[in-house]
Amino acid sequence: MVSCLVALLALSSPEPDAGNYRSWLRFVQPDAREQAYKEIDWRTSLREGMAEARALGRPILLWTMNGHPLGCT
């Protein structure tokens, strides 16, 4: 699949159409390994996590990046 798409790119600027758009979807979108982080139930704000942690008496695991890690910017 990748070699076909690369061949298409070598000919001209890529153009999506009915015949190839699903291949391009698969190429651009993350696969299962790349999306493994979604198997964890992330709360999307520390405020939400703080309230829940206090209510449950549980610790927080915070993943923080410049640019929200879940694309929530």
Residues contributing to the site for other proteins (CB under 8 A): 2, 5-7, 9-10, 13-18, 21-22, 24-25, 27-31, 33-50, 52-54, 56-73
The full length of the chain comes to: 73
Joined tokens for residue 10: 């070598």
Cβ neighbours for 61, distance < 8 A, ≥ 6 positions apart: none
Residue 73: CB minimum distance to other proteins, A: 6
Residues 71 and 51: their CA atoms lie apart, in Å, by 22
Q: Whole-number minimum distance, CB 23 to other proteins, in Å?
A: 9
**Nearest distance in Å: CB 51, other proteins:** 9
